[in-house]
Amino acid sequence: MDKIVGIVEDIIYRNENNGYTILAVSTDEGEKTCVGTMFQLSIGEEITMEGKTTTHPIYGLQFNVENFTTNIPLEKNAFEKYLGSGAIKGVGPVLSKKIVEVFEEDTFRIIEEEPERLEEVKGISMNKAQQIAEIFYNQRALRDAIIFLQEYSISLTYGMKIYDYYKEKTYQIIRENPYKLAEDIYGIGFKLADNIAAKTGIERDHPHRIMSAITYVLNQGATDGHVFLSKKELINRTIDLLRIEIEYIDHILLELQMKQSINIQSINVQNGTDEEIIYLAHYYNMEEYCGHKVCNLLAHKVENIANVDKLIKVFEKSEKIRLDVTQREAIHFGAKYPFFVLTGGPGTGKTTTINTLIYLFEEAGMSINLAAPTGRAAKRMTETTGYEAKTIHRLLEINFTGDESRQSFERNEDFPLECDVLILDEASMIDISLFYHLLKAIPLGGRVIIVGDKDQLPSVGAGNVLRDLIHVNQLVPTVILDKIYRQDESSAIIVNAHKIHQGKMIDYKNKKDFFFIKRIKSHDVLQEIISLAKDRLPKFTKVGFLEGIQVLTPMRKGMLGVEQLNTALQEAINPISKTKAEKAFRNIVFREGDKVMQIRNNYSISWEIISEYKVRIDEGVGVFNGDMGRIIDINHFSEKIKVEFDDLKVVTYEFNQLDELELAYSVTIHKSQGSEYPIVIIPLFKGPSMLLSRNLLYTAVTRAKQMVVLVGDNKILEHMIANNREINRNSTLFRMIEDTSIIVGVDEVEYEQE
């Protein structure tokens, strides 16, 4: 490792988020370009760096800094340059020159030890002197804290977050209770906090450790969709995690409840016994609120809509359609009830029913909002109804608070939605958190219509909203559409989707839009998919891969998992080229032209829409989990990547934000929820039984609009159709509705008898 000592002459580039910096450093051997993660540096500082000299393909020789230390400059001209560099807000070159002329080589000691003497300089008040001293101190304090944190293997990025949150309390927190990091700092989980605690000598059975582990286990349960865990399961998981016997567990749980971190309840289970269950407090509060709000909406009478049957006939005539008995019942429910659930599989007439309801409400002079959980689902809703649909986040006016782990919205009880009717599609994707925020924005007296397919995969987040609502259909008005309409002799997608749902073998022989290609070995399946994606399907369908062909796979790992499929498809469809810039990030190489997907909600990132004439025609903030696009530019000098999403929004990412993106030539079936693609390719191969289920296959097949191609082992296909194993989710929304309905006085629903 080489060593360089010099004075910072210029800061060519600095990324304020991750500390990545490009410096011009004056050394005895001349000026050198140095690059690396270097925080809070200023022009004029003396810097000692360790690293290696490399040759950048564009920018030539540069010194890659791996470690560095800084010193207060010792020379008078270095003092002046440092103070005047902008390092201290409000001190520019002119004032810097005055300060150094007065105090000369004693300048920095005066600022640190006798800041009141800065008043001796013309133009500096006592208040200004204190500000200068405080900034000077904070720069030193941050550096000292970062160095301290690095002793515990805490990265620079997390180190800066920690110091920014705790300031001078950083040392106390690390030494006394590092588990607070997992509570307070987004991205720092129990395991990292536990590693830090081990280095500080905190005992393995310390209450702080056990409390943090319990919270971690409940959070892990939430990632599996569970709003709560049974007490027995929680204790077992916590013991497995900590690998110790836990004494006084009831005392620790009680303390967590007193701190309002958890909520302990008792429920009656199937065998008639009571069982203790434990929630993270905010999930309990969300379910309780949602149960109350649904009941309050149902108990609040809404304005009658006159002449419903007459309006239905007018709509039927204008659209040249004929609604069946169940669809008519749904229209009457939508007109009568303030809260109503409409569910059904593909091709059963949900869209027609929605369009009839929209016509009905418009004729009654009501204002209507349409929404869906994702951008793709909202776009589909817009196309099928002819009315603008928004994402729920956009409808509720997402408000970024600065904490990536929490979302808040402008729309709430104090500033509710200004519409008479809200129609919400793709409700199977809605988790309890989003449902909570949505209901907060619904005023009493408004109408809410929830639309979704109960047989789709459940939401990625915790909760079981749609199924819980349908579970209490004696209280929540619910209509299930089950007659298939959207089909003809040449289409097998809808028919086969319903056969899968019914547990019947699909029919793919002599079909123009549904194919099964038998391949047994994983390698053969992979080669077949590459051939289909690159050449055969684009030639046969006239649809390019990047424009409308999507590979959907059950899992992430293995030869036919998302990660390896993406690498193989990238190599085939968008190979290495001298004309295409690329950026390696962790185990992914991003390349200009790549198809990519946003993999978590980012409520603060800016986007813009540019016209063909290079004019900005719209702008805003927020990109959400599941949004897809294509990389249009990679700039190594500015350390930025531009992505144009399917809705034409262009988003610029810093290199340190690339953990928000992944290649999307292939995506998991879970990630495809709420989306439709012209052509879908689905590999069928061996894997965990929980991932080879009927509703997973059903979800994948129903993503296709024009064509489905299954590639793999017919035995796996038969297994998936037969495997009706549903992953149970721990949720209690339906119980909350049942309990509240008694208090509020919600009437049971009257269904027409066939």
Averaged over 84-111, what is the pLDDT?
Answer: 77
Residue 719, φ and ψ in degrees, nearest 5: -65, -45
What local confidence, expressed as pLDDT, does residue 353 receive? 96
For residue 243, count CB atoms less than 10 angstroms from its CB and return exposed for 0-12, middle for 13-18, buried for 19 or more. exposed
Averaged over 239-248, what is the pLDDT?
Answer: 90
Q: Are strands 616-623 and 602-610 parallel, antiparallel or unpaired?
A: antiparallel
pLDDT digits (tens, 9 = 90+) for 509-564: 888 899 999 999 999 999 999 999 999 999 999 999 988 999 999 998 889 999 99
Does pLDDT of 660 surpass 80?
yes
- What is the rounded distance in angstroms from the CA atom of residue 644 to the CA atom of residue 630? 5
- Residue 449 pairs with which residues in a beta bridge? 340, 423
pLDDT digits (tens, 9 = 90+) for 249-307: 999 999 999 999 999 999 987 677 889 999 999 999 999 999 999 999 999 988 889 89
**Residue 27 is encoded by which pair of tokens?**
């050394």
Q: According to the per-residue pLDDT averaged within each range, which of 28-42, 391-405, 548-562 is highest?
A: 548-562
Q: Which residue has the tokens 């418009």?
A: 362
Does pLDDT of 405 surpass 60?
no
Share of the chain above pLDDT 70, in %: 94
Does pLDDT of 752 surpass 80?
no
Q: Report the Cα 344 to chain-centroid distance in Å.
A: 27
pLDDT digits (tens, 9 = 90+) for 65-92: 888 877 665 556 666 766 766 656 667 7
| pLDDT band per the 50, 70, 90 thresholds, residue 602 | confident
108-117, 212-221, 594-603, 683-692: lowest mean pLDDT where? Answer: 108-117
- Residue 6 pairs with which residues in a beta bridge? 47
| pLDDT band per the 50, 70, 90 thresholds, residue 19 | confident
Does pLDDT of 475 surpass 80?
yes
- What is the rounded distance in angstroms from the CA atom of residue 475 to the CA atom of residue 464? 17
Helical ranges in 472-561 per DSSP H: 493-501, 522-531, 537-541, 545-548
Does pLDDT of 156 surpass 70?
no
- What is the rounded distance in angstroms from the CA atom of residue 495 to the CA atom of residue 484? 8
- What is the rounded distance in angstroms from the CA atom of residue 164 to the CA atom of residue 181? 12
55-69, 269-283, 337-351: lowest mean pLDDT where? Answer: 55-69
- Is the pLDDT higher at 89 or at 208? 208
- Is the pLDDT higher at 1 or at 295? 295
Residue 424 has a CB neighbour count (10 Å cut-off) of 23
- Is the Cβ–Cβ distance between 679 and 512 less than 8 Å? no
What local confidence, expressed as pLDDT, does residue 32 receive? 92
What local confidence, expressed as pLDDT, does residue 623 receive? 84
What local confidence, expressed as pLDDT, does residue 16 receive? 67
For 585, the 3-state DSSP assignment is strand
What local confidence, expressed as pLDDT, does residue 389 receive? 93
Look over the chain and give the mean of its residue pLDDT values, rounded to a whole number.
Answer: 89
What's the predicted TM-score (pTM) here? 0.78
- Is the pLDDT higher at 63 or at 620? 63
| pLDDT band per the 50, 70, 90 thresholds, residue 163 | confident
